Structure 1
Amino acid sequence: MAKKKPLILVTNDDGITAPGIRHLISVVKKIGDVIVVAPDSPQSGMGHAITVNDNLYCDEVHLDDEVKEYSCSGTPADCVKIATQEILKQKPDICVSGINHGSNSSINVIYSGTMSAAVEAGTGDIPAIGFSLLDYAMDADFSHTSSYIEYMVKKVLDEGLPKATVLNVNFPKKSDHEIKGLRLCRQAKANWVENFDKRQTPHGRDYYWLTGEFVNHDGGKDTDEWALANNYISVVPVQFDLTAYHALKEFKNWNFED
């Protein structure tokens, strides 16, 4: 008796026609039955936003004859919600999000629509991986990611993931240097030093354009930033329980319960 194929939910934040998600689909459709539910337009930086004050539309589209696809007017988190609650008849075996055009390492994970989609799946006990590439170009080369994506997806399908955990996987940009392999990492302590560039419209109205510089304050060799800088693929386990357990004892003397 033939083994049943896994059901794979694919989403992203760059939009359903972005080259990154098209490449991801081409890889995972060799592994299982694929359903795509992705935004109809770019949703980068949306984090875990959901649509609550507007209509949400989800229409079937035909971009690949081998997979069933839906274009959603909402955010990446919306896409996972509507996929699991309205479109799919059963819980997917895994959700894969990406491949994002641009890194989601370090602090970027909290802004990322790509990772928020994976986290949304994780909250529903669906194993999930977010994939990102350190290349912001829409014509980025994703070819070096294929075998590693296949390995990671199959590994998660076979082994599962720890409870309340999803994976954040970042690939270095394609270069002449060969990828050294996968590296299990922690999230680097880094942040954006931001500025608002104040400008004016032709009609004299002020507006602001967010600019900034990414600064890595972490010299550790066990971080995602170090891995990417040294041509490794970073793999960071991400939890969505935001409780600062290490800080609980610091509040004992505040006498909250008195």
Structure 2
Amino acid sequence: MSKKRPLILVTNDDGINAPGIRTLIEVMNSLGDVMVVAPDSPQSGMGHAITINDTLYCNSIKVTNDDPHKEYSCSGTPVDCVKIAVNEILKRKPDLCVSGINHGSNSSINVIYSGTMSAAVEAGTLGIPSIGFSLLDYSMEADFGPSKKFVKAIAQQTLKNGLPKGVVLNVNIPKLNASEIKGIKVCRQANAHWEEKFDKRTNPLGRDYYWLTGEFVNEDKGEDTDEWALHNGFVSVVPVQFDLTAHHAMKELNTWDF
């Protein structure tokens, strides 16, 4: 690999064969030397899970086109992929880690469940500028074409400027034609939640089982949120910090009589 081009780690949570990661690889190949380490099967909703009670396998995948990048499939979670890439596969720390492009939204509260974003966060904890990309389309036939120029622009700016310490980017792209997307907005995470329900059923052996369902409820009427941006035709960019300390609550807690 050329030393003059940035080294870019590409991963995801939908699996190495998902269409979204193919688009991301294509865009990143235009920006630097690419190494792909992604799950060998879908890992959506895994959050920041890691494998500690089982073995991990990493297999080199033959790239069928003329692209110079290398690919590995990993039997673990998205976070496992980042860990094993940085510690075992790559010969130096990457200049950028990108995760996605996810099939479906990772805006608002969804960020805490997201394997896509957890991979980016893991890379961020290792001091690597990182971005999670998601498209608001759950279909495996989703059109990722309109995402390309926005993915490239955000990645280019991140390579050029770096990111503040302790921050990664959560990027969500509306399901629109390229001409319909109005631009990019830096936003805050909307205050929203899932009203969850379980669909209870019984199998032929008489044992109960459940399917998790739910409705996404956005209670936040602010026009500076990711949800507002996405519903109004903008790509949302939310800077996410992985220091989970609620600093604003420390003063109050220090008044308690422990």
Say whether the 8 Å CA contact 2:146–2:177 is kept in structure 1.
no
- Report the Cα offset of residue 202 of structure 1: 1.4
Aligned to 2:18: 18
Aligned to 1:202: 204
- Report the Cα offset of residue 209 of structure 1: 0.4
Q: What amino acid sits opposite 1:212 in the alignment? A: G
> In 1, Cα distance between the equivalents of 2:221 and 2:128?
34
- Report the Cα offset of residue 255 of structure 1: 4.3
Say whether the 8 Å CA contact 1:141–1:174 is kept in structure 2.
no
Say whether the 8 Å CA contact 2:146–2:178 is kept in structure 1.
no
- Report the Cα offset of residue 204 of structure 1: 1.2
Say whether the 8 Å CA contact 2:147–2:178 is kept in structure 1.
no
Is 1:150 the equivalent of 2:152?
A: yes
Q: What amino acid sits opposite 2:111 in the alignment? A: V
Aligned to 1:54: 54
> In 2, Cα distance between the equivalents of 1:255 and 1:62?
62
For residues 68-109 of structure 1, give each alpha carbon's deviation from its aligned partner in whole angstroms, at most 9, with x where no partner exists. 000000000000000000000000000000000001000000
- Report the Cα offset of residue 28 of structure 1: 0.7
> In 2, Cα distance between the equivalents of 1:63 and 1:203?
46
| Residue aligned with 2:180, SS | coil
Say whether the 8 Å CA contact 1:194–1:210 is kept in structure 2.
yes
Q: What amino acid sits opposite 1:248 in the alignment? A: M
Q: TM-score, normalised by structure 1?
A: 0.96
For residues 182-217 of structure 1, give each alpha carbon's deviation from its aligned partner in whole angstroms, at most 9, with x where no partner exists. 000000000000011110111111100000000000
Change (3 A) 1:57 1:204: same
| RMSD of aligned Cα (Å) | 1.3
- Report the Cα offset of residue 176 of structure 1: 8.1
Aligned to 1:36: 36
Change (3 A) 1:42 1:3: closer
**Match 1:138 to one of 133, 140, 152:** 140
Q: What amino acid sits opposite 1:102 in the alignment? A: G
- Report the Cα offset of residue 126 of structure 1: 0.2
